[in-house]
Amino acid sequence: MAVTDLIRSLRLEYHDSDEAAPLLDDEQLERAVTRALASVNKDLKRSYVVDGDGNLSPALEDDDREVLLLYALVVVCRMMQAKTARNFSFSSGDKKVDKTKQPSYWAELGRGYLTQYQQAVSDRNPEYGGGVPAVTPLIYGSD
Amino acid sequence: MLTDGERGMIVMDSAELIRMSSETAEILRPSVSGAGGFAGPHESSEDSLGTVAIEFRQLSPEELKQIGADGVCSMLPDTDVKEGDVVIHQGSRYIVTDIKRENCFGAVTHLTIRLEREYKLCVA
């Protein structure tokens, strides 16, 4: 599967269909897919890589694809949160625009996707600890 | 403080609000001729300046009476409109009596225009 196909699926998921004025450009979405790939490899113990032609190798399994898209959506939401962080409200004459709540809406959406991702990974990998590093108890005084 | 990009965003958002009303109007400008002549200047005809985006403000008769206008509308900041021009909106003729350039942090967001209804036969 090509990274461009994943980018197309991502745009469908978060409703970024206006080609003339996309919310995020392809380079940003490629970054989101790359970060998602790293998480999926770590959390599901896979070894996917992007080859020189922009294809995922080995071929992405359907289940893994959905999990990867979920994490990519988490990254997309963080990107949109950063993009809208400087939004402000203004009024001019009879016109009033307030976009200041957009960052918190994106953050909330991202939290929802992260919960779904953690659930999906837990179902597939029982050893997954929800992203929290494994803690090894260390008892002092014992050999 | 606002950057140039953020000022541009304010202008774009305001323009979007006006365009979202999906209303348009034709602007006519009276052409004055006869200046310096014996009869003096007079309005011989009207030239159409084209159709522009417009947003009519929904005001009650009491509010309009208080403002002293028959209608109030918004137009995009770069609209070529002057006092004395005629606005044709939904078959009604209005004379532009006042134009106010609305300013927000140094950016002209839109024009607020007061209109006076003109009861004259309007050929659509």
What is the helix (H) or strand (E) element at residue A70, kind and residue range? helix A62-84
> Within 10 Å of residue B89's Cβ, how many Cβ atoms?
16
Q: What is the interface pTM, i.e. ipTM, of the complex?
A: 0.72
Q: Which domain holds residue B80?
A: 4-32+45-118
pLDDT, tens digit, 9 for 90 and up, residues A45-97: 999 999 888 899 898 888 899 999 999 999 999 999 999 998 999 999 999 99
Q: Say which residue the tokens 């050929």 belong to.
A: B123
Beta carbons of A95 and B74 less than 8 Å apart = yes
Beta carbon pairs, A and B, within 8 Å:
34
Whether B124 maps to a domain, the answer reads: no
Whether B39 maps to a domain, the answer reads: no
Q: Which two tokens stand for residue B76?
A: 């995009």
Q: Which two tokens stand for residue B93?
A: 């003729």
Q: Is A91 on the interface with B (CB under 8 A)?
A: yes
B110 neighbors B15 (Cβ within 8 angstroms): yes
Per domain, the residue ranges of chain A are 3-124
How many domains does chain B contain in total?
A: 1
Mean predicted confidence (pLDDT) in A20-27: 93
User: C-alpha distances in angstroms, B42 versus B60, B93, B95?
Assistant: 36, 20, 17
Whether B27 maps to a domain, the answer reads: yes
Give contacts of B100 with chain A, Cβ < 8 Å.
93
pLDDT value for A143 = 59
Give contacts of A97 with chain B, Cβ < 8 Å.
10, 13-14, 17
Q: How far is A89 from chain B (nearest CA, A)?
A: 9
Q: Where are the alpha helices (DSSP H) in B21-105?
A: 61-67
Beta carbons of B105 and A90 less than 8 Å apart = yes
Chain B neighbours among A 17-76 (CB < 8 Å)?
none
Q: Report d(CA B74, CA B100) in Å as an integer.
A: 10
Q: Is A86 on the interface with B (CB under 8 A)?
A: yes
Beta carbons of A92 and B74 less than 8 Å apart = no
Whether B28 maps to a domain, the answer reads: yes
Q: Which two tokens stand for residue B1?
A: 């403080």
Three-class SS state of B30 = strand
pLDDT value for B122 = 55
pLDDT, tens digit, 9 for 90 and up, residues A98-137: 999 999 999 999 999 999 999 999 998 888 877 676 677 8
Q: Alpha-carbon torsion A112, A115, A120, A121, what sign?
A: positive
B27, β-bridge pairs: B50, B87
The amino acid at residue B76 is L
B74 neighbors B18 (Cβ within 8 angstroms): yes
Q: What is the CATH number of the domain that holds B97?
A: 2.40.10.210
B112 neighbors B97 (Cβ within 8 angstroms): no
Beta carbons of B112 and A86 less than 8 Å apart = no
**Kindly report the CA angle at B108 between B31 and B101, in degrees rounded to 5?**
50
Listed residue (B73, B78, B88) closest to B26, CA to CA = B88
pLDDT, tens digit, 9 for 90 and up, residues B49-94: 999 999 999 899 999 999 999 999 999 999 999 999 999 999 999 9
pLDDT value for B35 = 67
Beta carbons of A93 and B110 less than 8 Å apart = yes
Beta carbons of A97 and B112 less than 8 Å apart = no
Q: Which two tokens stand for residue A55?
A: 């294809």
Q: Report d(CA A93, CA B46) in Å as an integer.
A: 31
pLDDT value for A35 = 96
Q: Report d(CA B17, CA B74) in Å as an integer.
A: 10
Beta carbons of B10 and A91 less than 8 Å apart = no
B30 neighbors B40 (Cβ within 8 angstroms): no
Q: Report d(CA A71, CA B101) in Å as an integer.
A: 47
Listed residue (B25, B42, B18) closest to B122, CA to CA = B25
> Within 10 Å of residue B116's Cβ, how many Cβ atoms?
14
pLDDT at B123 over 60: no
